Amino acid sequence: MRSDLADKFGIEYPIFGFTPSEHVAAAISRAGGLGVLGCVRFNDPEELEAALTWMDENTDGKPYGVDIVMPAKVPTEGGAIDLDKLIPAEHRAFVDRTLDELGVPPLSDDVEHATGVLGWLHSVARSHVDVALGHRIALIANALGSPPKDVIDQAHTKGVPVAALAGAVEHARRHVENGVDIVIAQGYEAGGHTGEIASMVLVPEIVDALGDSAAVLAAGGIGSGRQVAAALALGASGVWMGSYWLTTSEYKLGSASGEGPSAIQRALLKATSADTVRSRIYSGKPARLLKTKWTEAWSKPGAPDALPMPLQNLLVSDAHQRISASENPDVVAMPVGQIVGRMNEIRPVAEVMAELVSGFEDARARLDSMK
């Protein structure tokens, strides 16, 4: 499984693995792919600094990247306290009432309440870029499309290529015009922020539209070697996988004890490909989430509309913390793609990667037999 893009990054396989866990990201890089650490959960630059220092020391010298959340246009924003005042009282009442109805207990008195994921704020995302460029990163990806031009230039000055997610051809063209090097064509079935066009249609559309102007990674609905082969057959230079790493043994986020599968993982393990929903309730922008009693509550008559980013995340941050502490898989709040139907066991990253490679080889052999 080779591609020019894999050779450019010095990795064995053109598999780019996005994850909020530095332990998973490092394991992906050690296994021959490119682990990409999601930075949005790091409110404090010092926390990200510590995570990237750990990755520098635990990737066996192999390359890794980071993923930020930054709109192309610099917004007017306040601090968390200022923004908190913009959240309507009826939204807060709905969240509190829903948590009570779902049996989610309050946090213990000794637990510090979350202030919201400030990584959604432009200023915090810029601090993520500054911290990341102080490390040996091989890629900066942006979940909200093209970062501002000066951020792209800043990365290029350091010799770091920039990737951006796109859900439509016009987005991809705009990214390249802005100086983006790699376009991640993320289809409708993907987890997290995603558009409305399915991968099978979107990937070749973007590949054809961009030609040689930028490399394309396929994202959405990829969880087997056959699907990797399909993505490359559609013209992609590699794949971008996120959801599939959530049920690896290295993923410990959201686990109260750190031992055994977390409530999030237990929920994912029993889900089918039909058990997701696209909603704005996680961040304020459309994102595919695991369908649970929490997401269903927001779709009932009388439920308020989601607030715009970043207010929605500030609104539900404390709720997410309470849900995580409750260890109840029926109410978890988790972005995940439709590939969740294939995520049926907890396995090490290295085993997942080996299966992707062998599955790719089997698919290639099957096609060769049809000559």
Mean pLDDT value across the chain: 92
Written as six digits, the tokens of 270 are: 């029993």
Model pLDDT, residue 113: 62
42-56, 102-116, 267-281, 288-302: which range is least confident on average?
102-116
Model pLDDT, residue 130: 96
Report which of 266, 273, 147 is spatially closest to residue 221, judged by C-alpha positions.
273
Model pLDDT, residue 85: 85
192-196, 308-312, 319-323, 347-351: which range is least confident on average?
308-312
Asked if the model's pLDDT at residue 313 lies above 70, the reply is yes
Distance CA 341, CA 355 (A): 17
190-199, 248-257, 274-283, 303-312: which range is least confident on average?
248-257
Distance CA 213, CA 211 (A): 6
pLDDT over 90 percentage in the chain:
81
Model pLDDT, residue 119: 45
pTM, two decimal places: 0.93
pLDDT in tens, 152-180: 999 999 999 999 999 999 999 999 999 99
Q: Mean pLDDT across the stretch 85-95?
A: 94
